[in-house]
Amino acid sequence: MLSEYRYQSIDPLETGWRLAQLIRQKGYSVKDIQKLLQLSCPQPVYRWIKGQILPSVNHLYNLAGILDVPMGELLVPASETACIIAFERECSRRKRLYAYYLHWRKKAA
């Protein structure tokens, strides 16, 4: 029985993207979420959206109520495919930033 269970972890980046999408769909802003969750500043919400950290269980519970979705729907399990996609997105972002840097460096010279 114990050997049938497959341990899964949560993908913070995909979870952040899902949170951002749900917040937008429901018409809330980051500032609205901050106030509804009684946070002293909006930085934790931005960190959730960027995938830097995951919300606490209390915050997930309240977010589920605010966004009117089951709590489990807020979380995205990690998968090999998701890791590859996240890596490709990050590489693409770095390439764009580097191209931008080269463009402005050339202009400045």
Delimit the domains of the chain by residue range: 9-78, 79-109
Mean pLDDT value across residues 80-92: 59
- Overall fold of domain 9-78: 434 Repressor (Amino-terminal Domain) (1.10.260)
- For residue 27, the 8-state DSSP code is T
How far apart are the C-alpha atoms of 11 and 97, rounded to whole Å? Answer: 24
Compute the mean pLDDT over every residue in the chain, rounded to the nearest whole number: 84
CA distance linking residue 29 with residue 26, whole number of Å: 9
Q: Considering the entire predicted model, what is its pTM? A: 0.68
Angstrom distance (rounded) from CA 67 to CA 77:
19
Label residue 96 by pLDDT band (50, 70, 90): confident
- Which of 56, 31, 53 lies closest to 42 in space, CA to CA? 31
State the Cα–Cα distance between residues 108 and 77, nearest whole angstrom: 45
